[in-house]
Amino acid sequence: MKLELQRSKVKNIAWGEKTALLPDGTLEINKEELLAAAADPEHFKTLSADLARPGESVRICPVKDAIQPRYKTEGAGQEFPGMVSGVDTVGSGKTFVLDGAAVITCGRIVGFQEGIVDMSGEGAKYTPFSKTMNAVLVFEPADGLEAHEYEKACRLAGFRAALYIAEAAWKAGAKVDETELYDLPPFSESMKAFPELPKVAYIYMLQTQGLLHDTYVYGVDAKKILPTLIHPNETMDGAIVSGNCVSACDKNSTFVHQNNPVIRSLYERHGKDINFIGVIITNENVTLMDKQRSSSYAVKLASMLGVDGVVISEEGFGNPDADLIMNCRKAEQAGIRTVLITDEYAGRDGASQSLADATKEADAVVTAGNANMIVVLPPMDKLIGFADYTDVIAGGFDGSLRADGSIEVELQAITGATCELGFNPLSAKTW
């Protein structure tokens, strides 16, 4: 499968008469058409849209998802298959990308498990979405709507909006600034091409604990699947999307799935110091039997591929730590070396055990940061969304929202702050 990403750089965002990417890099959006694309009168009592730019004194809260506008210009299928398009296999052909833009969905869904995005100040240091030009959709549910129905309506509205923006900009003649080609040959060809390089696969753990803790693959709730193979290119066309409302810091938003940095890094090293064999997706379960089944099945697939090592990434914390450790232990016992990517809940002083489970085989672990670290977010001049959930949001507490509008919270409350795919601004230094 060969996929060419056609990237256009977005340098500003504004409302305009026509949705188009102007020569100076300004993404103009027709507000009425955007709202029409996202509209769902049966499920939304109100629907509004706003814009947020890097450096502005703007707070977006509570954030549900972030989505990158993309549109397939050539090849089978369309973005977000099984959600707002058919279920043809994606990941080949050409895909137009509005690089530097995002659609942010915002609304009270669960309340304590949505997040905060600050476009400036201390909070902006910790979220990747303070650097994007954001079109923000703000929802309020129709009376009597169940939370799971509301989540689905918000999820689909965000995908429709992102697809509308990208398609309209492409058809208005957006200039492509750069192209990237992603081409991973079949296993048999890879084995012949790089026989001397270690064979590496990626075990991609998806949040699937249910009760609004869901991830979807081609429209299928991933808690219903057995671990399976997926081509890395498929992720770039929205085959995997977020439907969950877990803690904001380590939620893999749809934008992150579209731009998975683990996949990009493995691609970059393919043929140089590793032989990137492919991606195994697996779920995070709540019962011991399901955890055992999925971990055994994922490692079996890796063994059948004959890999020497796997990278394993987690989504969430606590209960999913058991899945992470099971995957690690079973892979190591099968003779497959592992590297884990996770974040930590080590207490505000960093002195507590970082994960809910452990094993001696987990001797190569990459951390995305301590989600319990406390930060104070200064007041913002403008709020997009609702402030009334701040005291109960995961990472917040009674009194988090201060009288002057500042907020004292753990990193846990900031969208993407400790993303376990490494799609976050935190880094480590050695000295």
List the catalytic residues. Answer: 245
Go through the chain and tell me how many residues it has. 431
Torsion of CA 264, 270, 273, 276, to 10 degrees: 90
Question: What is the Cα–Cα distance from 326 to 294, expressed in whole angstroms?
Answer: 9
Question: What is the Cα–Cα distance from 14 to 199, expressed in whole angstroms?
Answer: 47
Question: What is the Cα–Cα distance from 321 to 149, expressed in whole angstroms?
Answer: 28
Which of 326, 310, 407, 317 shows the shortest CA–CA distance to 368? Answer: 317
DSSP state of 220: E
DSSP bridge partners of 136: 50, 104
Q: Which two tokens stand for residue 313?
A: 């990434």
196: burial class by Cβ within 10 Å (0-12, 13-18, 19+)?
exposed
Q: How far is CA 101 from the centre of its chain?
A: 14
Torsion of CA 224, 229, 234, 235, to 10 degrees: 70
Mapping DSSP to helix (H, G, I), strand (E, B) and coil, where does residue 416 land? coil
Question: What is the Cα–Cα distance from 236 to 248, expressed in whole angstroms?
Answer: 22
Cα–Cα distances in angstroms (integers) from residue 167 to residues 43, 105, 155, 177, 265, in the given order = 25, 19, 19, 17, 28
Mapping DSSP to helix (H, G, I), strand (E, B) and coil, where does residue 159 land? helix
Q: Which two tokens stand for residue 182?
A: 């992603």
Question: What is the Cα–Cα distance from 126 to 51, expressed in whole angstroms?
Answer: 20
